[in-house]
Amino acid sequence: MVIKGQATVVKHTGSHYMLSALPQWELFPAVLRGKIRLKDSNATNPVAVGDVVDYEAEIPEGAAPESIAEHVTLENSAAITGVHKRRNYVIRKSTNLSRQSHIIAANLDRAFLVVTIDFPQVKLPFLDRLLVTCEVYNVPPVIVLNKCDLYGPEHEDMLAAFHEIYQGAGYPIIDVSAHTGQGIDLLRDVVSGKRNPDGSLNEDYDQAKPAVSLFSGVSGVGKSSLIKALDPSLEPRVGDISTAHEQGRHTTTFYEMYSLSSGGFIVDTPGLRGFGLVDLKKEEIALYFPEMLEAAQNCRFTPCTHTHEPGCAVKEAVEEGVISYDRYSSYLGMLDEEGKYR
């Protein structure tokens, strides 16, 4: 008999998907039925991890519909027939110079942006593009500063400057070490939704609706190691750092969601090497730098590009050190990078 239902995409490998009716964690395979196109979208992947989809599946006559995972196999996959409207998502421009984009993950409660001050060295413009994208598509970001066990006295100034820049811009930072366990308990509670990044209890926590979070960052920052530290029963692939260029080797090669025993779900992604902004006009970019948006209220002219206009409160704040010059530099770079990134 044929049954119909709804489920969440938890894994995507080429043309095949794995689904589960969250919060239950009972996976079953699925394929797309025909061509599914999203309205007004140039995305290369019409179905992404985190999407809620409609499906049809054939199971034995008399079998209980909730037993679908027992009866649906790769040879007898369910068929994805439709995609529900997304609450939010994280998207990036394709690495080539086409007009196409790629949905990284959808329907997220938070995005955990994993960075390292060193090993590999953090690239602030790359982090800022991720943050801007989260702001545009309404995904609350948390910066996770990993490998804190490796930082010595020579890193103190860099660490202090990093915290000043991003906490000053309003972004929470959790300092962690997958190796020593520093900060892992707090990170685990934030991922599950039990706590806020500042350690306070989340009054909106609902155990019946576990949080779905994205873990993203460049190769080598230790996303997979962090996931395993959060739940040792999981086996994400873990890679090493290339000593020649101090860049990470790709370990995760597809998009996959994990269910944590402590609560919540994590979407792990391949290490990103490029991140282009999508559907964002030049005059809109400054709106998604929170510290610039606040200062811009006092600009003499509206609109103001914060580049050459007299009486620009943003430029004044940069000169006074109220707004980080590094963040302002990232903003100017986004204005100029029409070809490679946008």
CATH code of residue 6? 2.40.50.140
Count of structural domains, the chain: 3
| pTM for the full predicted model | 0.90
The parts of the chain modelled with pLDDT lower than 50 are 239-252, 339-342
pLDDT reported for residue 329: 97
Residue 93 lies in a domain: no
pLDDT reported for residue 38: 56
User: Do 288 and 263 share a domain, yes or no?
Assistant: no
User: Do 112 and 77 share a domain, yes or no?
Assistant: no
Q: Which domain holds residue 159?
A: 103-268
pLDDT reported for residue 342: 40
Residue 28 lies in a domain: yes
pLDDT reported for residue 338: 53
User: Do 66 and 180 share a domain, yes or no?
Assistant: no
User: Tell me: the pLDDT tens digits for 253-278?
Assistant: 578 999 999 999 999 987 665 667 77
User: Do 239 and 199 share a domain, yes or no?
Assistant: yes
pLDDT reported for residue 170: 95
User: Do 189 and 307 share a domain, yes or no?
Assistant: no
Amino acid at 270: P
